[in-house]
Amino acid sequence: MYKILTALFVSAFLLSCNSGHQKLSKAEYDALTEEQKRSPEYALEGIDLEDKDLEVTLFASEPMMRNPTNMDIDAKGRVWICEGYNYRSKLNPNNGVEEKGDRILIMEDTDGDGKADTSKVFYQGNDINSALGIAVFGNRVVVSRSPYVFIFTDEDGDDVPDKKEVLFEGIGGEDHDHGMHAFTFGPDGKFYFSYGNAGNGLLTKNGKPLYDGQGRIIRTDGKPYREGMVYRSDLDGNNVEALAWNFRNNYEVAVDSYGLMWQSDNDDDGNRGVRINYVMDYGNYGFKDEITGSDWRTRRVNMEDSIPLRHWHLNDPGVVPNLLQTYAGSPTGMVVYEGKLLPEKYQNQMIHTDAGPNVVRAYPVKNDGAGYSASILKILDGGNRDKWFRPSDLTVAPDGSLFIADWYDSGVGGHAIGDQNRGRIYRVAPKGHAYTAAKPDFESIDGNIMALQSPNVATRYIAWTNLNEMGQEAEAALKTLYASSDSRMKARAFWLLSKLANGKEYILDASKSEDANLRIAAVRAARELKGVDFSKLYLDLAGDASLQVKREVAIAIRDKKEAATWLKLASSYDGEDRWYLEALGIAAEGQWDVYLSKYLDEIGSEWINSKAAKNIVWRSRSSRTLDLLGQILASEPTGAKLKYYRAMDFQKSGDKNGILLNLLARASDANEKSIIFRQLDIEDLTAYPKLKEEVDAFVGNLGNEDFLDIVDKFELKGQREGLIRILRKDTELSNIQDAANTFFKFYGIDEVKNICLDLDITKAKNAIERFGTVDSKPMTDLMISIFQDEKLDLGLRQEAMRAMNGWDSESKLWELIQEDKVPADVMDIAKHHMERTWHQDIRAKANEFFGGEDAVKVDVKALLTKSGSVEEGKKVFDIYCTSCHLVNGVGVDFGPGLSQIGSKLTKEGLYNAILNPSEGMGFGYETQEIVMKDGTSFQAIVTSKTEDDLNIKMLGQSETTKYNLKEVKSIKQLDVSLMPKYPFEEKELVDLVSYLSSLK
């Protein structure tokens, strides 16, 4: 396919990139051609370095390597990458395919000039196409390529694997960005790893299921595990632990020297919800509803007031807080930098790559109660000049310098790839610091002690395993390091000492350290030392001065019966610290009945006046919780009640309806009554005649959203006029569609027809417009009967034809056009629909039928040289795009939000997304074909699936529609996007892309 460049030529072009010179001015850079900007020669010109004490150099680029998906650096300082040339080839049919499969490369700087001059192929095969993870552990290389995790073993050191074994299988997420990600090595001698929400569980290499400590199968079925997950295991894959769950696409987990975990998580595209997490063991991180699995868009009591927060169910009890939200992005690699080479502000902090906004950032962390807070410190930024800079991973070299892999592409995410032949590796280090080859001494104890202190994980792994095998022989040397003044080096030595036969002594010693982080490590090590009772230690540390230590104690007593320790921990809760409250909740899982009763007994009747006690009740899951929530709700002021009503949804026992009906009898506030009606688990009111009277009398005074919820829930067919009022006057599309659907369900198509044919033409046109937003067979048939009836008012018939713009109605309309059953006086509107239909196959045939072109033939490279009008582009957007996309709150929340799309995609990426929508479908926005048991079928987006319900978004609708799963025959994902390939004129395209590029 292509040849590796000779060392001489590689050195020449990299020298031109790295030689010291004055950075081009903006004007000089803008004057470069697109080809020059894309070339390695000008690679550094496109990236802004935010720290004047550092320098960035180009270590490697095409044609030596291309499309790096993930990276590691071994103990020799060699750079390993997985390539993704064959990235999502089924979804990118116009791209080339390497028949031999993708490669794992080893690149090395052999002459000490800081630039790769040799490259070798470690492995090539279609079994590792677009692998998302590589980690080098001595002579073993762990490669994550869903649905497998492979271990390649190089037994003779020739950089060619002699063995390929399966570590885990059955993961799901094949050929998917949300599958299994890279492994890393923890200070406790275990593997840590994660997958995104395309993963569905783990199987052993023999295909057998894995179980957690409570005997539950580890799979994402909501019992309790959901969506993306974080795991830990022994190095042979045994003793797998599910550590945290309910993420969307938690890309990589990084582990610090104390054993604490840190990572990023991506939002649904366009919702500004990207987050950084401190990963609390056994935490639920809230992407989907904990109980039902519903999507974050599903209406609920106490819903968060903004989408970035709503996205993670942060107001729900049982959800661990986010450390930091970075809003729009496509987050990728993560490390905890524990080196000394970079300036102090980066030391012991997370450093992270985010390919969406083209940045590399550090996140300095501070203690915040039992948790942490973080800020943002930018290191590299390509967003101002070269938005092709797509940092896909980073890792720390043995000398402490930082290496960054650059996917280098016009876009990122949505399974699209615009460029297959480029890719770069950069190095960040203090100015003038040359890259030196590593030569660790792994033969002697002292050499391994030195290597254990390396900032490079691969080096630490070898040292750790060597010292662990040496056992007591290494104890003295480890004790010397344990006496170090460097807290993190002390912790690394401690972990190994805790594995010795006398490890308990070291755990007890560390638990008394003045350093709270060492005490944290002591608690974590105690959890891993099997067969030793640490109850007294936990009880003692429950009184620790550090809330972080108490948090760890809480986690440590999960699955244990440690009431005295839990009560001591609970007594320290101040009623404010959400981190601490969630740790208490994790600790009490399975023990709530005992713990909560003892806690309330200690406080006495005054618990109702204690904010801390009420919050603990709010978080609890005991058989008493519903009654206690009822007592709180009876005494709280109206404005403080929402969270307690929401907490009722998480209780599995108790008389929920009885408590709510008692509260209803006391309630005087209309908003509270509305909440109670929504929370009642009663669908048939025939057994509650007085309640039916009260609901009927009350519901007419509610806002439209609440009115629609309650009318539909209780089937209040006496609310006909209220539904008509919303249909005629509401301006919210979702309310109009809900009202239309409910009206049709209650009263049938004949009543709908009567309203649409009102003698008042203005009212009739309004009704047709409103009911026409519902894309169903009965509604389509009604619209057809109206526009075909030439005796009716022309304006009325034209309005009916305008309503024929849904998935089913457009398909039927095309049939009528071919059968010559569309009257000439509404044919122009029909033709307009066919030019913009969701159905690409129909559009092509219709354009041929009407003598048009299926799509404008464009030269994207030529378009990139042209300037468009932002103002005119907005007009194009309003015509074609607002029916499915939101920008700054305006439009329809059907497809991905586009408020910051200009920060994510280059102009070339935008052109590709518009012209080839099926090549870049965002995860969660794929086309699903749903077939019902009654024979009907439709295409939509599935937002969530619970045990009972399928929640979908119909074409062009913001709100979700719920179907009972018992009525669904099949759900099939299609490779074709629901976004049409519109036949834009060239000027329309250029203007539209100019507008989208301005959205930042």
The CA angle 136-142-147, to the nearest 5 degrees, is 155
The CA angle 899-901-906, to the nearest 5 degrees, is 155
Do residues 566 and 579 lie in contact, with contact meaning Cβ atoms separated by under 8 Å? no
d(C-alpha 58, C-alpha 149), whole Å: 31
pLDDT surpassing 60 at residue 9: no
16 plus 149 within the same structural domain? yes
Comparing CA positions, the residue from 697, 695, 758, 692 lying closest to residue 724 is 758
Residue 312 DSSP one-character state: T
End position of a domain, from candidates 430, 465, 499: 430
Do residues 619 and 595 lie in contact, with contact meaning Cβ atoms separated by under 8 Å? no
3-state helix, strand, coil in the chain (%, to 5): 40, 20, 40
CATH code of the domain containing 166: 2.120.10.30
pLDDT score, position 816: 96
Pairing state between β 241-247 and 283-284: parallel
DSSP string covering 583-632: HHHHHHTTTHHHHHHHHHHHHGGGGGG-HHHHHHHHH--STTHHHHHHHH
726 plus 843 within the same structural domain? yes
At 246-266, the pLDDT tens digits run 999 999 999 999 999 999 999
834 plus 881 within the same structural domain? no
264 plus 168 within the same structural domain? yes
For the ranges 119-123, 259-263, 965-969, the lowest mean pLDDT is seen at: 965-969
End position of a domain, from candidates 400, 430, 460: 430
Comparing CA positions, the residue from 416, 401, 408, 358 lying closest to residue 62 is 408
Note whether residue 169 is domain-resident: yes
pLDDT score, position 10: 41
Is 681 in a helix, a strand, or coil? coil
d(C-alpha 427, C-alpha 450), whole Å: 24
CATH code of the domain containing 925: 2.30.30.100
Q: At what angle do helices 689-699 and 656-666 cross, to 10 degrees?
A: 50
State the pLDDT confidence band at 836, using cuts at 50, 70 and 90: confident
pLDDT score, position 689: 86
Note whether residue 607 is domain-resident: no
End position of a domain, from candidates 375, 406, 430: 430
pLDDT surpassing 80 at residue 205: yes
Which residues have CB under 8 Å from 701's CB, separation 6+?
Answer: 670
Sheet of 133-137, strand order: 133-137, 140-145, 148-153, 163-169, 203-204
pLDDT surpassing 80 at residue 392: yes
Note whether residue 461 is domain-resident: no
Average pLDDT on 734-738 reads: 87
pLDDT surpassing 90 at residue 164: yes
Amino acid at site 560: K
843 plus 900 within the same structural domain? no
224 plus 86 within the same structural domain? yes
At 516-531, the pLDDT tens digits run 999 999 999 999 999 9
876 plus 808 within the same structural domain? no
114: left (phi over 0), alpha (psi -120 to 50) or beta: left
Comparing CA positions, the residue from 777, 771, 713 lying closest to residue 737 is 771
CATH code of the domain containing 840: 1.25.40
Report the number of distinct structural domains present in the chain.
3
261: left (phi over 0), alpha (psi -120 to 50) or beta: beta
Comparing CA positions, the residue from 656, 661, 670 lying closest to residue 625 is 656
- 337 phi, psi to nearest 5 deg: -80, 110
- Measure the N-to-C terminal CA separation of the chain; round to a whole number of Å: 39
d(C-alpha 103, C-alpha 130), whole Å: 9
809 plus 912 within the same structural domain? no
**Percent of the chain scoring above 90 in pLDDT:** 70
pLDDT score, position 449: 98
Note whether residue 294 is domain-resident: no
Comparing CA positions, the residue from 72, 77, 22, 69 lying closest to residue 44 is 22
pLDDT score, position 1: 39
At 687-718, the pLDDT tens digits run 888 888 889 889 988 888 899 999 998 999 99
844 plus 892 within the same structural domain? no
- Maximum distance among all Cα pairs of the chain, rounded to whole angstroms: 100
Note whether residue 58 is domain-resident: yes
CA 755 to chain centre: 45
830 plus 874 within the same structural domain? no
Give helix then strand counts, H and E, for the chain.
35, 36
**Exposed, middle or buried, 157 (CB in 10 Å: 0-12/13-18/19+)?**
exposed
Look up the domain containing 328 and give its range. 7-285+320-430
Q: At what angle do helices 487-497 and 516-528 cross, to 10 degrees?
A: 20
Average pLDDT on 147-171 reads: 97
Encoded tokens for 729? 């006057």
At 322-373, the pLDDT tens digits run 999 998 899 999 999 999 999 999 999 999 999 999 999 999 999 999 999 9
Pairing state between β 184-185 and 191-195: antiparallel
Do residues 892 and 883 lie in contact, with contact meaning Cβ atoms separated by under 8 Å? yes
At 47-83, the pLDDT tens digits run 999 999 999 999 999 999 999 999 999 999 999 999 9
Comparing CA positions, the residue from 709, 710, 718, 720 lying closest to residue 744 is 720
pLDDT score, position 380: 98
Note whether residue 70 is domain-resident: yes
790 plus 899 within the same structural domain? no
837 plus 922 within the same structural domain? no
Note whether residue 975 is domain-resident: yes
Note whether residue 635 is domain-resident: no
